[in-house]
Amino acid sequence: MSTSDARERILQSALELIARDGFDGVRLADIAQGAGVSTALLHYHFASRAQLLTDALAQSLSAAERRLEHRTADARRTRADQRFADLIDFGLPLTPEDVLEWRLWAELEHRASGSPELARSLAALNDRLLRPLAAAVASGLEEGQFSGCDPDDVATVALALLGGLATRLSAGDPGLSVGRARRLAGRQLALAVGYEGELPFQPLPPLPPAPAAAPSSASVEGAPIARRRRAPKASARP
């Protein structure tokens, strides 16, 4: 295994375990085991738990950015309103991969208030989200699609709105579906940029298939066992 491969596997293991169990619930030894490497090799790549958390989130954000570029390039969505709609989708957990990333993001936000190192990392990652949002709004103003707004202000409000909705979605809030979250965000942000009508969203990605039901205990090799019918009771009448 090359050095770069080992680092990638450690980061992926950290992403999955921290998102599932929380930062406090995961030992570095667990992450190393999940990556198939030694704890010594993990410490060679990452000097601290804080660095591991922020690097895992930075990697997941980079992967998400690549997915966004692939999605928008395929559809040739170059207008500002299309780009803005795609960035709203980017800010919501639409897939299981997105949910993992948002749970990790929540861990970082939770810990940033008590750690200057994590606070700096969070600010840098937030900037990677704010800049494309502000750029899309600025383009919309130039193209005449948007009006009466400040790009930086809209980006800041959008990030806060999407973050709140994403937290509820990633927590599995039964009162909020992905479709409803997107509609709410789209309507409010369309108003914020002075856009007439509904933003041109792409179709939502398909939901993952539901897990197969466990085989019934009353079956053998997939074939149901016919239930034995009770014999009718003899009549008490003569």
Torsion of CA 71, 74, 75, 79, to 10 degrees: 80
**Rounded distance between C-alpha atoms, residue 160 and residue 166, angstroms:** 10
**Rounded distance between C-alpha atoms, residue 48 and residue 35, angstroms:** 17
Specify if 229 maps to a domain. no
Q: Indicate whether 70 and 139 sit together in one domain.
A: yes
Specify if 56 maps to a domain. yes
Q: What is the pLDDT of residue 218?
A: 37
> Residues 50, 117: contact at Cβ < 8 Å?
yes
Q: For residue 18, what are the contacts with CB-CB under 8 A and spacing of at least 6?
A: 26, 53, 56, 103, 104, 107
Q: What is the pLDDT of residue 52?
A: 85
Q: Indicate whether 167 and 63 sit together in one domain.
A: yes
Q: What is the pLDDT of residue 233?
A: 41
pLDDT by residue, tens only, the chain of 238 residues: 677 788 989 998 988 888 788 777 888 889 999 999 999 999 999 888 878 877 887 777 777 777 767 766 666 788 999 999 999 998 999 888 788 778 877 877 887 888 787 788 888 888 988 999 999 999 999 999 999 999 999 999 999 999 999 999 988 999 999 999 999 999 999 999 999 999 999 998 876 654 444 444 433 333 333 333 333 344 443 3
Strand partners, 224: 219
Q: What is the pLDDT of residue 209?
A: 57
Q: Indicate whether 94 and 80 sit together in one domain.
A: yes
Q: What is the pLDDT of residue 126?
A: 87
Q: Indicate whether 36 and 142 sit together in one domain.
A: no
Specify if 225 maps to a domain. no
Q: 53, 42, 51, 47: which is closest to 19 by C-alpha?
A: 53
Q: What is the CATH number of the domain that holds 1?
A: 1.10.10.60
> Residues 37, 10: contact at Cβ < 8 Å?
yes
Q: Indicate whether 28 and 62 sit together in one domain.
A: no
Question: DSSP readout, 140-192?
Answer: HHHHTSS-S--HHHHHHHHHHHHHHHHHHHHTT-TT--HHHHHHHHHHHHHHH
Q: What is the 3-state secondary structure (H, E, C) of 83-147?
A: HHHHHHHHCCCCCHHHHHHHHHHHHHHHHHCCCHHHHHHHHHHHHHHHHHHHHHHHHHHHHCCCC
The domain containing residue 96 runs over which residues? 49-192
Q: Indicate whether 169 and 74 sit together in one domain.
A: yes
The DSSP element (H or E) to which 223 belongs, if any, is strand 223-224
Q: What is the pLDDT of residue 71?
A: 65
Q: What is the pLDDT of residue 75?
A: 64
